Chain A
């Protein structure tokens, strides 16, 4: 029986969350979405976050993706202190270090497949036009989308759109891929196909963090974190049946 300690030996921490809190303030109501979250994600890990609706897993993913700011606590990503940085710096880190895969694909409808994949690269200041073009072509080939390069999202099936979204997510070789219910809008066949893609990326060394409510999808990851009422209630390796108390 392997332990978490054994699995994490010789691995570099990519993401560290320390005493992270997120409180939402509306007109008269305070909602504690996350309470004292402590979490480390290692390079090359395949992590899934599960929990019932409203438990805070998507909020956790937003904070991980720098799509939102924590109310308090520390967040380190790939050596950057990402807790209290300005919006431009957050955007730069998101662009370079994070790739997103959304439940509703979130492709830009006015852009072609190739342009969608190129979009995050176009925000980079360290790449020239030719380099971008090469990276896009490489992505298209990898995901077998070359023949769809000039098509628009409305001309693709759900599964194809999600493939484009995944291609877009990894085009810039980010440090971590964040996937929010990537199969939520897909039928079982396409869902399997997308999960197989993520498996493949992980095999190639990608660090993946996936939010899902589907236990079967969750078990495909190496490590599963359960969230409940804004707290991490369990954190275990999938190969081990022992939950590690948190």
Chain B
């Protein structure tokens, strides 16, 4: 019976103060909602290991991460096979690579479509534990030299490109111009390794090299045996590899001492380069959210503590009447339980809304590229519910026990005598101050980091990349390898590809709505990554101390279409080709550099005629390239990426095989320009695919969309932290003032004016601001220093973040302190002195 009495009493108290109750529930809902949402996001994207249809983790085995490129390198299959053969800790391992393929329709009746392809060892589906829903997977014989070309389709391709044709297995289609038989269809949602829409087997020749190669070209995924950890496998792998490194020829000896390991194993979800590159940002986000949860607990505890202080005499009376301690604690807990449970329900809805919004955002971000990893689908599953329940329990205990402690630790007799009521003990005073300092510091960190990131990405989006983007469309062109083979860069193969590109350009430029067409391996504003280069006659003593540049290849008339200009020297022309373009190796290789590179490397203005070459610390070098011209500055990559270089070099497309991006300067409607492109492509060769067709502005924004989404989450975290801090500081201030009501009344009795009372509290708030902001700014700088390992933060962003946000917090804290302190001065001093 007493159980129900206490519950009813707690409910009555909460209903009696609806504003307090609603505010508390809202605070709990926001704090818990953000925690559950962010946990779901990060868990699904990064932290929760991929298991698919097995009961153990899938791991990735790849080459080392290259900072300058912002991505991992593939590994030498020679070593991957050694690991597969000798490891005792793996259930299975499959080698693979990824690429792009084009696919025709049945009977070649439909135009080609670009697909994300995975080329793998026969056992990829076995390792994944997922089998086709139609037909079969691969068998070892599919990799044999001379075996029929086969392919397995993804579910979406089967549904959309082949209309869900149930008789598709056994049909023949053109895949990148090569007749290929369809042998199976995978179930919906399967896209291993990440975004695959079509699978083909790797040949035995590629899979099983008999000797090590200079460059790695395969990746691997594997499944651990039950009960084993990644760390155990990493140790085993290191032992296996070190044994084999000893037997390598001298020129491969560097692999044994590669910092971080030439080949590494890690959780499969980290194969997404964007995630890996910004891992520190995600960890920072998780830390921030946990801090917000803590802040929420502190706030609610404080609000409840304030209520206990208001009711402290009632509590003292209950104790005097003999209430058991346990029952008193439980009474304190009931209010906390109701607030946290109700808040938890609302939190679940908020988190659900966040999850839906995120899934929509992911669809938008990857709508153009089609590169959303298949596990990037959020939901509030069992894990999220468990986290929510644990967080609610944690909150109930923390927020309920604080008031209970206060109730039990008060001076009973003093409270009953009225002697010490309104007097704030030293300990409670210190605790309150520490609370305010903590809340200021936390909200400062989150807001500073969020503001700096958003400001930086906003600047990056609106940066001047040195090109004209208006009335420009871009696309990536995929020439089918069947009809335009690479042939290891053989002159005939290269000529065929370049002939196609120039024919397309010429025919497009004949159209009345097309002004200019150009080709870039990566357009300004995209790409990025850098490598070292050497100036002839001025090599650095240590190779890695040579300057870095970003090297792209362009066609002979690239600048017009993007609004770049030759400043000095000349552009590429027919002089840079031999009379027979198949004989390019015997002519001097030209290069055009940008203004910044010319200024920095050749300050005497003598860049023209100098020679440079790319290389790496493994001894690989290109030919010497003769500087023939200087072009206006652009930025390849985003201005916020650390991998974007200031120096650019451009080589001639005619000399290299490459996947080229086309840019078209048009007039009139964008849709018309896009139609023109597709029509001319189809007219010349219908097997050629153009994809990612979009405006140039959109192309530049694309890489930043994900970062922007993350930054927006950070900003929401910041606003939540600010709301919690403001309400928390208000509650602390109000609580402090309640506890010091007698002191305030005494001061007023002695002649202190209202302004002096307010000034007293504002002065104390300023001290707390000083400590809180000092701590918050220091922590912010540390967080930012971690982030700047992968991102460049602009100067303006520092100003906005480190100056603007503290000012904003100062104003907020002063307002939060002013309001309750001015409220108490509106009462008569006698109320505080209990004169009656």
Contact = CB atoms under 8 A, between A and B. Distances in A.
Q: Which of A100, A106, A124, A180 has the most CB of B within 10 A?
A: A106
A65 B749 contact: yes
B35 to A, nearest CB: 38
B752 A123 contact: yes
Nearest to B419: A104
B40 interface: no
Contacts of A106: 742-743, 745-746, 749, 833
Given A67-B835, A109-B426, A104 B418 contact: yes
Nearest to A105: B419
Interface in A41-59: 58-59
Given A88-B754, A104-B418, A67 B747 contact: no
A58 B836 contact: yes
Given A69-B828, A106-B746, A88 B835 contact: no
Contacts of B752: 91, 95, 123
Contacts of B747: 108, 119
Contacts of B742: 104, 106
Contacts of A124: 751
B91 interface: no
A48 B414 CA distance: 27
A120 interface: yes
A180 B753 CA distance: 22
B511 to A, nearest CB: 82
Contact of B750 (A69, A109, A119): A119
Contacts of B825: 87
A59 B836 contact: yes
A108 B743 contact: yes
Nearest to A211: B835
A219 interface: no
B742 to A, nearest CB: 6
A108 B807 CA distance: 33
B249 to A, nearest CB: 78
A202 to B, nearest CB: 21
Nearest to A56: B836
B417 to A, nearest CB: 8
A68 interface: yes
B748 interface: yes
B376 to A, nearest CB: 56
A120 B750 contact: yes
Nearest to B828: A68
Interface residues of A, number: 30
A106 B829 CA distance: 13
A231 interface: no
Contacts of B835: 58-59, 61-62, 67-68, 180
Interface string A88-110: 10011011100010101011111
A11 to B, nearest CB: 26
A91 B754 contact: yes
A61 B747 CA distance: 17
Nearest to B424: A109
Nearest to B829: A67
Interface string B716-750: 00000000000000000000000000110111111
Given A67-B833, A68-B830, A88-B754, A109 B423 contact: yes
B750 A100 contact: yes
A152 to B, nearest CB: 9
B751 A123 contact: yes
Interface in B787-836: 825, 828-830, 833, 835-836
Contact of A123 (B429, B750, B833): B750
Contacts of B462: none
A34 to B, nearest CB: 12
B756 interface: yes
Contacts of B424: 109
Contacts of A68: 828-830, 835
A168 interface: yes
Contacts of A58: 835-836
Interface residues of B, number: 28
A120 B751 contact: yes
A185 interface: yes
Nearest to B742: A106
B748 A91 contact: yes
Contacts of A119: 747, 750
Nearest to A174: B751
Contacts of B420: 104
User: Mostly helix, strand, loop or mixed at chain B's interface?
Assistant: helix
A69 B745 CA distance: 15
A96 B418 CA distance: 28
B697 to A, nearest CB: 61
B753 A96 contact: no
A168 B751 CA distance: 12
A87 B754 contact: yes
Interface string B401-434: 0000000000000000011100110100100000
Contacts of A185: 419
A145 B419 CA distance: 23
Nearest to A33: B836
A124 B743 CA distance: 19
A185 B830 CA distance: 19
Given A109-B426, A180-B835, A185-B419, A67 B751 contact: no
A186 to B, nearest CB: 12
Nearest to A89: B753
Contact of B756 (A61, A62, A65, A123): A123
A62 B743 CA distance: 16
B419 A123 contact: no
A109 B419 CA distance: 13
Contacts of A123: 750-753, 756
A88 B746 CA distance: 15
A110 B743 CA distance: 10
Contact of A87 (B746, B750, B753): B753
B753 A91 contact: yes
Contacts of B745: 67, 106
Nearest to B414: A104
Contact of B830 (A62, A91, A96, A168): A62
Nearest to A95: B751
A117 to B, nearest CB: 11
A180 B829 CA distance: 14
Contacts of B419: 104, 185
Contact of A96 (B426, B749, B751): B751
B535 to A, nearest CB: 70
A92 B836 contact: no
Nearest to B749: A100
A104 B417 CA distance: 10
Contacts of A96: 751
Contacts of A180: 835
A32 B535 CA distance: 99
B243 to A, nearest CB: 71
A67 B830 contact: yes
A70 to B, nearest CB: 11
Given A67-B835, A68-B828, A88 B753 contact: yes
Contacts of B423: 109
B750 A95 contact: yes
Nearest to B826: A87
Contacts of B751: 91-92, 94-96, 120, 123-124
B750 A67 contact: no
B759 to A, nearest CB: 11
A124 to B, nearest CB: 8
A91 B755 CA distance: 11
A14 B535 CA distance: 99
Interface of B: 418-420, 423-424, 426, 429, 742-743, 745-756, 825, 828-830, 833, 835-836
State the 3 A-B residue pairs at the shortest beta-carbon distance, nearest first: A95-B751, A62-B830, A67-B830
Given A59-B835, A68-B830, A107-B746, 10 more contacts: A59-B830, A59-B836, A67-B745, A67-B833, A88-B753, A100-B750, A102-B746, A109-B743, A119-B750, A185-B419
7 contacts: A62-B828, A67-B835, A91-B752, A95-B750, A95-B752, A106-B742, A124-B751
